C-alpha cells in the first residue's frame, strides 16, 4: 500500500513540474518513448541527468512554431540527448556516439525538414551555425514540404504548403548571420519555393536589406546574373518586388550589382519604371531614370510609362517622364499615342505643344474630339 502511494506521489510530482510546450507535443509521444514514462527507476537514472533534463526544460522558451513531426519539446530533447556538437567524448564511445549524432543530424522528418530547418524555424542561431559547418552542400539545399501553422506574431511562417530551403527560412525570419553562413558554405541562391521565389525575392519583398546584402556581397557577376533575372510564378524579378514594395535601399543594392533596369515582368511586360509610375513613386522613378532606365520601353500591349501616366491623369509623373525625354508620339497596339489618352486634362495637354502651329508666338494645343 505504501509503495503504491509513493509511486502516485512521484507521478503527481513530475506532472506538477512538467512545463507544457504549448504546441500539443503530447500527441506525438508513444508508450515506448522514454520521455513519456513519468516513473523512472532511481537506479537507472542519476541525479545529474535529472538535473540536466530539468534545467533544459525550465530554460526552454516556446517558439510557437508547430511541426507535425518534431515539436519544440522534441527539439529540446534531441539537444539533451547528446546533439551538443562541441561536447567532448571518451575515445571508447566515440564511434557509437558519432553514429548516433549522424543519424540525428541527417534525419529528415515526414514534413521534409532536416534538423537545420528546425533549428532555423525555432530561431536557434547558435545551433544553426554549428549544423551549417557540419552539413555538406547537398543537405544545405534540401527543400522541405512543411505545412507551417500561423501561431503568433511577430514571425508567423507561411500557413500554406512550402518547399523551402534553410536559406529561404533564414531569410524570411531575417536571420542575417545564418544567411551569411549558408551562402559562404555554398547554399544555392537560385532554388525557388512553391511560389517561385528565390531567397533574394523574399528579402526584397520583406525589405530585409541585411539579408540581401549577405546573399550577394561576394557573389561574382556571372553567378549572380541568373538570380537577378529569375522570375517567380507571377513573373516578377527581385527588382520588380523591391520597386513594388518601395524598398529604395534594396533597389540601389540591386542596381549596383547589375540588375537589368529594363527587365519586363512575365505577365504584361511592365518594367520597374512602369510599376513606379503606377505607384506614383517619384523616388523610385528618379532612381531608375538616373541609372539609365529606358523611358520608352513598351509593355506587351505597346504602352510606355508615359501612356500609363497620362491614362491615369497623372500630370506630375507625365511631366517628369517628358523632361526625361519620353517620346510623346509612340503608339500602343490600339494605335493610341499618350496624347490620345489625355481626356481633356489641360495640365497634361500643355505637355504636348505643336511647335509648327503658333498664333501670336504661342503654341496651339490640339484638343482631341
What are the domain boundaries of the chain?
A: 66-84+96-188, 261-369
Among candidate residues 216, 62, 187, the one with its CA nearest the CA of residue 124: 62
Establish whether domains 66-84+96-188 and 261-369 are of one fold. yes
- Decide yes or no: CATH 3.40.50.970 for domain 66-84+96-188: no
Lowest mean per-residue pLDDT among 85-94, 175-184, 230-239, 291-300:
85-94
Predicted confidence band at 102 (pLDDT cuts at 50, 70, 90)?
A: low
Question: 261-369: which CATH number, 3.50.50.60, 3.60.15.10, 3.20.20.80, 1.25.40.20?
Answer: 1.25.40.20
**Is pLDDT at 291 greater than 60 in this prediction?**
yes
Element (H, E) at 354: strand 354-359
Choose between 147 and 256: higher pLDDT. Answer: 256
Predicted confidence band at 18 (pLDDT cuts at 50, 70, 90)?
A: very low
Residues 6+ apart with CB under 8 A from 10: 38, 39
Say if residue 67 is exposed, middle or buried (CB neighbours under 10 Å; 0-12, 13-18, 19+): buried
Alpha helices in the chain (DSSP H): 2-17, 47-59, 72-80, 94-106, 115-121, 125-134, 137-140, 166-172, 176-184, 199-206, 209-216, 221-229, 238-244, 248-256, 272-278, 282-290, 305-311, 315-323, 346-349
**Is pLDDT at 54 greater than 50 in this prediction?**
no
Distance CA 168, CA 142 (A): 11
Cβ atoms 242, 210 nearer than 8 A: no
**Is pLDDT at 253 greater than 50 in this prediction?**
yes
- What pTM does this model have? 0.68
CB atoms within 10 A of CB 32: 7
CA distances from 13 to 93, 209, 356 (A): 34, 50, 97
Cell output for 288: 531608375
Q: How large is the average pLDDT for residues 179-187?
A: 95
Residues facing residue 362 across a β-bridge: 359
Amino acid at each position: 500500500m505504501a509503495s503504491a502511494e509513493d509511486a502516485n506521489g512521484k507521478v503527481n510530482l513530475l506532472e506538477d513540474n512538467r512545463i507544457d510546450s504549448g504546441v500539443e507535443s503530447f500527441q506525438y509521444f508513444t508508450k515506448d518513448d522514454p520521455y513519456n514514462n513519468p516513473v523512472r527507476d532511481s537506479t537507472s537514472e542519476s541525479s545529474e541527468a535529472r538535473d540536466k533534463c530539468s534545467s533544459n526544460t525550465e530554460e526552454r522558451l516556446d517558439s510557437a512554431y508547430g511541426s507535425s513531426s518534431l515539436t519544440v519539446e522534441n527539439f529540446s530533447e534531441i539537444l539533451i540527448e547528446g546533439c551538443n556538437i562541441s561536447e567532448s567524448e571518451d575515445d571508447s564511445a566515440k564511434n557509437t556516439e558519432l553514429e548516433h549524432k549522424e543519424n540525428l543530424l541527417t534525419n529528415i522528418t515526414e514534413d521534409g525538414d532536416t534538423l537545420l530547418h528546425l533549428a532555423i524555424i525555432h530561431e536557434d542561431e547558435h545551433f544553426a551555425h554549428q549544423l551549417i559547418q557540419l552539413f555538406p552542400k547537398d543537405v544545405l539545399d534540401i527543400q522541405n514540404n512543411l505545412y507551417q501553422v500561423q501561431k503568433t506574431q511577430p514571425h508567423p511562417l507561411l500557413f500554406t504548403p512550402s518547399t523551402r530551403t534553410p536559406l529561404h527560412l533564414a531569410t524570411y525570419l531575417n536571420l542575417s548571420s545564418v544567411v551569411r553562413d549558408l551562402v559562404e558554405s555554398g547554399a544555392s541562391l537560385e532554388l525557388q519555393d512553391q511560389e517561385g521565389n528565390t531567397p533574394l525575392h523574399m528579402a526584397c519583398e520583406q525589405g530585409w536589406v541585411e539579408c540581401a546584402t549577405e546573399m550577394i556581397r561576394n557573389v561574382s557577376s556571372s553567378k549572380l546574373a541568373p538570380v537577378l533575372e529569375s522570375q517567380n510564378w507571377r513573373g516578377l524579378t527581385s527588382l520588380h518586388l523591391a520597386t513594388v514594395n518601395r524598398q529604395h535601399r534594396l533597389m540601389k543594392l540591386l542596381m549596383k550589382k547589375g540588375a537589368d533596369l529594363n527587365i519586363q515582368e512575365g505577365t504584361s511586360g511592365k518594367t520597374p519604371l512602369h510599376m513606379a509610375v503606377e505607384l506614383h513613386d517619384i523616388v523610385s522613378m528618379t532612381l531608375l531614370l538616373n541609372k539609365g532606365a529606358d523611358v520608352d520601353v513598351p509593355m506587351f500591349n505597346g504602352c510606355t510609362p508615359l501612356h500609363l501616366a497620362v491614362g491615369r491623369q497623372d500630370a506630375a509623373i507625365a511631366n517628369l517622364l517628358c523632361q526625361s525625354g519620353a517620346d510623346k508620339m509612340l503608339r500602343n497596339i490600339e494605335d493610341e499615342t499618350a496624347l490620345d489618352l489625355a481626356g481633356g486634362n489641360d495640365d497634361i495637354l500643355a505637355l504636348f505643344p505643336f511647335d509648327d502651329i503658333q498664333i501670336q508666338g504661342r503654341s496651339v494645343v490640339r484638343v482631341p474630339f
